[in-house]
Amino acid sequence: MQNKLRVLRAEKRWSQAELADRLGVSRQAVNAVETGRHAPSLTLAFSIADVFEKTIEDIFEPSSPP
Amino acid sequence: MCAPYLLSGILDIGKTNYDEDESGDAKYLKKMAALIAVFLALLAVQTFALELFDLGYSGKMLAALAPTVPVFCMLVATVKNYREMDEFMQRVQGESLLWTINVICFLSFGYGMLEMVLGVVPPIGVIWILPAVCLGSGLMNFILMRRDHAE
């Protein structure tokens, strides 16, 4: 799964730690989601979308078209 | 089952406002350090009791099992800490534990095979299982975190 987390975070000028604080997860978790090593659960995906005031589809997209 | 709650209550004595702001990890580490101290103290009491007093069978049993109480509390604390982790850290911890258990099971199975075929092999006490799981899990956790960081 691909995501625009790094770009969105850069736009807000947040560090990974700052975003992790807002999401209530570890910095390692943010890093893992950003780099695509961890596909977030629906709960975390909704939290991420909520923090950036976007929809899940705006942030995440499947690697290959369905 | 009340022992962990009793000990956790004891450990929370003297809590300050600063303590309430502490992160879950800091609280967990403090609790584990205190439980290790209790374990070592009970180990010392056990050693002295067995050396100095002529304990009966039940006394020896009690002395032998006394240090396992803080160890049980540590196991409960690790589960509680696991539940408080985020999903990524839970995944890493779970994978670490799975690798550790697999390796220990594989090694013990191989050792058992050697024992069956060769007959005599140096005995290894079951007391080493818990330290092996703890150390192995910590080591695997370190390796997996490093791997994830390097990728």
Q: CB distance B148–A37 less than 8 Å?
A: yes
CA distance B5 to chain A (A): 26
Q: So where are chain B's domains?
A: 1-84, 86-151
Q: What is the arithmetic mean of pLDDT over B107-112?
A: 94
DSSP B40-61: HHHHHHHHHHHHHS---HHHHH
- Please indicate whether, in this complex, the C-beta atoms of B86 and A25 are within 8 angstroms of each other: yes
**Binning pLDDT at 50, 70 and 90, where does residue A66 land?**
low
Is B148 close to A32, i.e. CB distance below 8 A?
yes
Mean per-residue pLDDT over chain B, rounded: 85
Q: How far apart, in whole angstroms, are the C-alpha atoms of residue A64 and residue A57? A: 14
pLDDT digits (tens, 9 = 90+) for B50-69: 999 988 999 999 999 999 99
Question: Comparing B121 with B4, which gets the higher pLDDT?
Answer: B121
Interface predicted TM-score of the whole assembly (ipTM), two decimals: 0.87
pLDDT digits (tens, 9 = 90+) for A8-60: 999 999 999 999 999 999 999 999 999 988 999 999 999 999 999 999 999 99
Query: pLDDT at residue B7 above 80?
Result: no
Residue B22 has pLDDT above 90, yes or no: no
Q: B18-54: string of b/e by CB count within 10 Å (b at 16+)?
A: eeeeeeeeebbeebbebbeebbeebeeebeebeeeee
Domains of chain A listed by start with CATH number: 2-56 (1.10.260.40)
Interchain proximity A26–B148, CB inside 8 Å: no
Mutant choice from A22, A23, A26 vs B, greatest count of B C-beta within 10 A: A26
Q: Is A44–B87 a contact, with Cβ atoms under 8 angstroms apart?
A: yes
Contacts of B151 in chain A (CB under 8 A): 35, 37
Neighboring chain B residues of A39 at a CB cutoff of 8 Å: none
